[in-house]
Structures are given as structure tokens and as C-alpha cells.
Amino acid sequence: MKKIIILLLALSASSMSIAAGDSFVNEKAHNNIRSTDSLRRGAKTYMNYCMGCHSMNFQRYNRVAKDLDLTEDEMMESLVLTDAKFVDKMEIAMTEEQGNKWFGKAGPDLTVIAKARGVDWLFSYLVNFYQDEKQANGWNNLTLPNAAMPHILWEMQGIQKANFVVETDKDGNEHEVFKNFDQIAEGSMSQEEYRDTVRDLVNFLDYSSEPAKLIRMSYAPWVLLFVSIFTFLAYMLKVNYFRDVH
């Protein structure tokens, strides 16, 4: 037993240290997967800005249409921007070799990225791009340092620069620590509008990583209702059985 407890403690400590040391997650997504409007807006941003480089190979257009309450015509007119068919998988034309050649690294498939990274990570990633002349593509990212992906949504967010301060830790090693951003060019959106757009986009990625979650959540109130009725009946039964027990 003792060994098991030590093992569990060690495991949780190691996963905690990975989470703390690995990436810089400073904002929360606060997305709402039950909002169909938000999912539709997120899907639109995804199709317009992300699908050039990121496939969603485990998702099909007709499934998205069904889950987002869109007819085939609505889906094909507003969300499918290529010559893909309604029943097709959300694949992209760019091959991995082309991605490696053009960006140094291919953009990964994003169907289940919300499961792999978590929604807060994704949200932070999409708000934490900053201009950095030292990078080949001119951009860097606090959450995924030296990311090969440029800031695709910069026209909405505008351009920010990051300030760092040098701090010395207790072992005498110097580290650059992020202090704040300076906004050096305004975007087409305010910071709140930009965050709402990113929230919708992350919401769509969250949905996509587990479409069944929508169905599961719609069952939840019925399950709770059943459990409460059942508890009530069980209680009544108990009262009845114990009536003669003195």
C-alpha cells in the first residue's frame, strides 16, 4: 500500500513539473461547448484561417453540419471553401513534405489537439504571438517558443512586442522572464473582440476533439433527474421496510 501511495505521489509530482516547466499558459479559454453560435463562428474562423495548413482528418463536413445545426446548403456555402464534397473528410491539399519545406515543419492535424493540449493552452497560444526579428518568419510565441507557425490572425489582433526581464534564480542562473506586451500596431479588432474570436475558435477545436461530448452533455439533465427520482424511491422503500423494525 505504502509503495502504491509513493508511486502515485511521484507520478503526480512528475506530471506537475512537466505542466509547470513546459509551456507558458497565462489565460483561460472559458469556452462554452453548448453554444452553437459560438461553434459556428469558430468553425468559420477555422475554415478561413487555419485549414490552409491544418487538416482535421478525423472529422467530416457533414458531421460538423449536423452537430452545428446547419443544412447541407448552409454548410457548403458558408463553410466549405474548397471543392470538397459534403461527405468528405476535412483533409487538406498540402502534404507533409510541402509543409516541412515551406515552414520548416508541417502544421499538425488539429482534430484532437484540444485533448492533447487543453483549451487554456490553445487560448494562450493564440493570444501570445509577438513580433520577433530574430525568427525566420518574424514571429515568436510565449506558449510555444520558436513556433514554426507565423501569427495568422495578426490583422485582427494587431502586433505586439514582448518585454522580458532577466532574473537570477537561487542557484545563480540567469533566466529571461516575460514581463508584458507592448501593442505596437492596432488590429482590426479590440483586444476583447479578438479574445472572443479566439474563444470561439478554441470552442470549435474543443468540440471537434470529442463531438460526442455535445450529446453526452444534452443527456446530463435527464441522468440527474433519473438519479434523483431513483434516490427518492429508494428512500421511500427504506422507510417502508424499516417501519416494523424496532
Residue 87 — left, alpha, or beta (φ > 0 → left; ψ -120 to 50 → alpha)? alpha
Paired with 174 in beta bridges are: 168
Question: Which grid cell is 15?
Answer: 506530471
By three-state DSSP, how is residue 174 classified?
Answer: strand
Question: Which grid cell is 146?
Answer: 520558436
Site for ligand HEC in 98-127 (CB under 6 A): 103, 105, 107-108, 110, 113, 117, 122, 125
Please give, one letter per residue, the 3-state secondary structure of 38-50: HHHHHHHHHHHHH
Q: Virtual CA dihedral for 197, 200, 205, 211, nearest 10 degrees? A: -160
Region of 28-36, 51-59, 128-136, 226-234 interacting with ligand HEC (CB under 6 A): 51-59
Size of site (CB under 6 A) for ligand HEC:
21
Region of 145-153, 155-163, 174-182, 209-217 interacting with ligand HEC (CB under 6 A): 145-153
Q: Which of 85, 88, 178 is nearest to 127 (CA)?
A: 178
DSSP single-letter state for residue 150: -
Which one of 56, 75, 119, 201 is in contact with ligand HEC (CB under 6 A)? 201
Which one of 127, 148, 159, 162 is in contact with ligand HEC (CB under 6 A)? 148
Question: Which grid cell is 10?
Answer: 511521484
Letters for 54-73 (x = contact with ligand HEC by CB under 6 A, - = none) are x-------------------
Q: 137 or 231, CB closer to ligand HEC?
A: 137
**Beta carbon of residue 208, minimum distance to ligand HEC (angstroms, whole number):** 11
Dist CA 142 CA 152 (whole Å): 15
Q: Which of 146, 133, 131 is nearest to 182 (CA)?
A: 131
Letters for 178-197 (x = contact with ligand HEC by CB under 6 A, - = none) are --------------------
Is 24 an interacting residue with respect to ligand HEC (CB under 6 A)? no
Is 53 an interacting residue with respect to ligand HEC (CB under 6 A)? yes
Chain positions contacting ligand HEC, by CB under 6 A: 49-50, 52-54, 103, 105, 107-108, 110, 113, 117, 122, 125, 144, 147-149, 152-153, 201
